[in-house]
Structure 1
Amino acid sequence: MNTSNKLLTEHNAKVVVLDFIHALNAENFEMARAKLHDHMAFRGVMGERNGADIYIEDMEKMKFKYDIKKVFVDEEEVCLWYDINMGSKTIFACGWYKIADGKITSFQVLFDPRPVL
């Protein structure tokens, strides 16, 4: 991949993920859903979700808020360091997002779960 194509791919991947996070923060779940591949997979410390509709249903209930601290991009993979406000607790976490065809196909979130157990 030449340099200009790589930069465009990385820019697009970053925009998809940031738009997704901003939509969750704004509780615009329809917009957040539009950024997800129908068959996306989520893996987290507290469980897994398969399918965009299932994931969004959970987010509508939980209404987490994300305060992004740092963004790293490598082609169609985006890594975020962020604080996740889970209501009664705010947890520092890392999210690793994979993008294909302009949609999030999978992501994994890691954090220390002890404060929420």
Structure 2
Amino acid sequence: MTATASELAEDYLVAWQGRDFVRLRSLLADDVSFIGPLAAIEGADECIAGLEGMAQVLERIEVRERLAEGSSVITWFDLHTTVADPVPTANWMQVEGGLITRIRVAFDPRGILAARG
């Protein structure tokens, strides 16, 4: 049975927070595209590398709301890191063929960027 877009979004965040990058990779289409305030990435392996980098400062993800319709899902969450105050984040995903094909993330990166020096 194929997971819904909402289930894939949940699995994605749980795997990322748990640093289960093998599981995370299995949720992504090979040609996934990721665009956010800190990076624009094409391809699953590059996406995983970016998420691994961000996981170095990831403390936890506190989901506030998830809205899904068909193959599209938006998750609103607070991104807790070890380097900045919690960051309200919107994450939109598009799902095709049971895999995540597009990810767009919006948040204010100033606190995280300031910590990078």
Shorter-chain TM-score bucket reads: 0.7 to 0.9
The equivalent residue for 1:106 is: 102
- Please name the residue that 1:12 is paired with: 4
Runs (5+) with no aligned partner, structure 2: none
* TM-score normalised by length of structure 2: 0.85
Q: Aligned with 1:16: secondary structure?
A: helix
Match of 1:37 among 29, 36, 43: 29
TM-score (norm 1): 0.85
The corresponding residue for 1:4 is none
Aligned residue in 1 for 2:88: 92
Which protein has the larger Cα radius of gyration, Structure 1 or Structure 2? 1
User: For residue 90 of structure 2, what is the amino acid of its counterpart?
Assistant: C
Q: Which runs of 5+ in 1 are unaligned?
A: 1-8
1:11-90 superposed matches below 5 A: 12-63=4-55, 64=58, 65-89=60-84, 90=86
Distance in structure 2 (CA, Å) of the matches to 1:20 and 1:59: 11
What percent of counterpart residues are identical? 27
SS at match of 2:111: helix
Count of matched residue pairs: 109
Residue 19 of structure 1 aligns to a residue whose secondary structure is helix
SS at match of 1:105: strand
How far apart are residue 60 of structure 1 and its match? Answer: 1.8
| Alpha-carbon distance, 1:45 to partner | 1.1
Deviation string 1:36-68 (CA, Å, 9 cap, x unpaired) is 000000000122111110111122232133221
The DSSP-based 3-state class of the residue aligned with 2:45 is helix
Write 1 or 2 for the structure with the bigger share of helix.
Answer: 1
CA distance in 1, matches of 2:83, 2:109: 13
Please, what is the CA RMSD of the aligned residues?
A: 1.8
For the Cα contact (< 8 Å) 2:9–2:75, is it kept in 1? no
List 4+ stretches of structure 1 deviating above 6 A. Answer: none
